[in-house]
Amino acid sequence: MPRGAIDWSLHRKGPVDQARHQEKVRAAIRENLADLIADESLLTSDGRRVVKVPVRSLREYRFRFSTHRNPQVGQGRGGRRKGDVLARQPGDPGAQGDPHGAGHEPGIDYYETEVALEDLEAVLFEELELPNLEPRRQAVLDAQRPRFTEITRAGPLSRADLRRALKENLRRHARQGEARLGPFRREDLRYRSWRDDPRPQARAVVVAMRDVSGSMGEFKKAMSRTFFFWMNRFLQTRYRTVERVFITHHTEAQEVDEERFFYLGESGGTRVSSAYRLALEIVAQRYPPAEWNVYAVHFSDGDNWGESDNGLCVQLARELAEQARLFAYGEINDSGYRSPLMTAFAGLRHPRFVRVQISRREDVYPALKAIFRAHPEGAPAAAPERPAGRGERP
């Protein structure tokens, strides 16, 4: 660099370091996402809560000299090539030390950084979407969006089309025998105009069903609320026009508002078919599948009353899958046994029917991804058995 010249790259060191820090934070969120979203305290968050994630510290590249011999200079012995490993960090393959004894090497520095709930949602929701979403024509005024497709000779300057004006000026001078840009006249100006264009709208409704019977203990209750909390936030953030219907059930099903859906206590027996019947009635009366993209999600512990009701559930679930773009059954089971309802659903083969299971808190995140992802119709059948928290697609 010439003497006295300014190294302008140093002025970008701050933004570069900031971008690198943000990328490290996002990577830390991805690594800890399953644990972060299982935090029950977020269920009562007002959207301004912050969470703490561990981020591995970044060290600048520097020379490290040997401390065993003197004198020393910053000069190697030669014979090294690009990519050669000069030193290893503790924990790397080939690092020295007894894996079973006490460690004598320094550890890796981590620090906790506070992340806003919106940043956590941005990482979580970038992998989620409503599957099989199709356009639906909506005969309402707000479905008409203005499109600037017309060009006029008069209008306000805010809608002046400069490119068209340049072309008209050039064309006018070319007609006079001189193809050049010259002084502008009012006749050269062109303005954009619009027309209302009715567009098909992707109208959608999500029917959320939650088991509130007496068998839903504290863990099952917390996991169902956690899943539906993040599902609700996802729909509110990504899809403004999506409607939501909330249904709770024990032996009888009822449609409730959002607050009662999340905080209604548990009592009574279980008859799952009552929830499916009510969901089908609501869809038939208010959300015909020809005009709406219907999605249904049900979470229970699988302890249903009687084999006859299990068979009826399979029949109603098939009918829901036929009318909906997706029907998902999620089971919260931390005991390891196969519930009667999950056993009955094992024989239901439909391209729009999905099963997931939650056995641990960390399974909420895989369950969200298994349900709210692209599910192309006609996809090959999935294996009948999946690990906990993974989705099944018969």
Q: Are residues 313 and 338 in the same domain?
A: yes
Structure tokens at 45: 């968050």
For residue 387, give the 3-state DSSP assignment: coil
Structure tokens at 118: 């919106």
Determine the average pLDDT of the residues in 235-250.
Answer: 89
Which structural domain range is residue 177 located in? Answer: 144-198
Alpha-carbon distance 289 to 293, whole Å?
6
Structure tokens at 151: 């060009």
Q: Are residues 222 and 331 in the same domain?
A: yes
Q: Are residues 293 and 152 in the same domain?
A: no
For residue 295, what pLDDT band results from cuts at 50, 70 and 90? very high
CB atoms within 10 A of CB 241: 12
Q: Are residues 263 and 327 in the same domain?
A: yes
Q: Which residue has the higher pLDDT, 92 or 181?
A: 181
pLDDT one-digit tens code per residue, 198-210:
555 668 999 999 9
Name the domain boundary from 198, 221, 238: 198
Integer-rounded Cα Rg, in Å, for the chain is 31
Q: Which residue has the higher pLDDT, 170 or 96?
A: 170
Lowest model confidence (mean pLDDT) among 87-101, 191-205, 291-305:
87-101
Name the domain boundary from 177, 198, 219: 198
The verdict on residue 234 lying in a domain is: yes
Q: Are residues 361 and 232 in the same domain?
A: yes
Name the domain boundary from 73, 97, 126: 126
The verdict on residue 390 lying in a domain is: no
Determine the average pLDDT of the residues in 262-284.
Answer: 89
Buried b (16+ CB within 10 A) or exposed e, 338-370: ebbbbebbeebeebbbbbbbbbebebbbbbbbb
Q: Residue written as tokens 């600048």?
A: 60
Q: What percent of the chain has pLDDT over 70?
A: 64
pLDDT of residue 237: 85
Alpha-carbon distance 26 to 264, whole Å?
35
The verdict on residue 352 lying in a domain is: yes
Determine the average pLDDT of the residues in 23-30.
Answer: 71
Q: Are residues 240 and 364 in the same domain?
A: yes
The verdict on residue 153 lying in a domain is: yes
Inform me whether the pLDDT recorded for 3 exceeds 70: no
Going 344 to 340 to 351 to 245, the CA torsion angle's sign is positive
Q: Residue written as tokens 């001189």?
A: 178
Inform me whether the pLDDT recorded for 377 exceeds 80: no
Determine the average pLDDT of the residues in 106-127.
Answer: 68
Q: Are residues 258 and 315 in the same domain?
A: yes
pLDDT one-digit tens code per residue, 184-194:
888 888 888 87
pLDDT one-digit tens code per residue, 136-145:
655 444 445 5
The verdict on residue 394 lying in a domain is: no
CA 217 to chain CA mean position, Å = 28
DSSP conformation class of 202: -
pLDDT of residue 383: 31
Instruction: Tell me the pLDDT of the chain averaged across its residues.
Output: 76
The verdict on residue 301 lying in a domain is: yes
The verdict on residue 8 lying in a domain is: no
For residue 323, what pLDDT band results from cuts at 50, 70 and 90? very high
Q: Are residues 188 and 211 in the same domain?
A: no
pLDDT of residue 256: 93
The verdict on residue 69 lying in a domain is: no
Beta strand pairing call for 243-249 and 253-256 = antiparallel
Under 8 Å between Cβ of 373 and 382: no
pLDDT of residue 134: 81
Buried b (16+ CB within 10 A) or exposed e, 135-167: ebebeeeebeeeeeeeeeeebeeeeebeeeeee
Q: What is the CATH number of the domain that holds 225?
A: 3.40.50.410
Inform me whether the pLDDT recorded for 225 exceeds 80: yes
pLDDT of residue 207: 96
Q: Are residues 186 and 211 in the same domain?
A: no
pLDDT of residue 113: 61
Q: Are residues 180 and 216 in the same domain?
A: no
Q: Are residues 299 and 223 in the same domain?
A: yes
Helices 273-286, 307-323: crossing angle, 10 deg rounding: 30
Q: Are residues 162 and 279 in the same domain?
A: no
- Count of domains in the chain? 3
Inform me whether the pLDDT recorded for 121 exceeds 50: yes
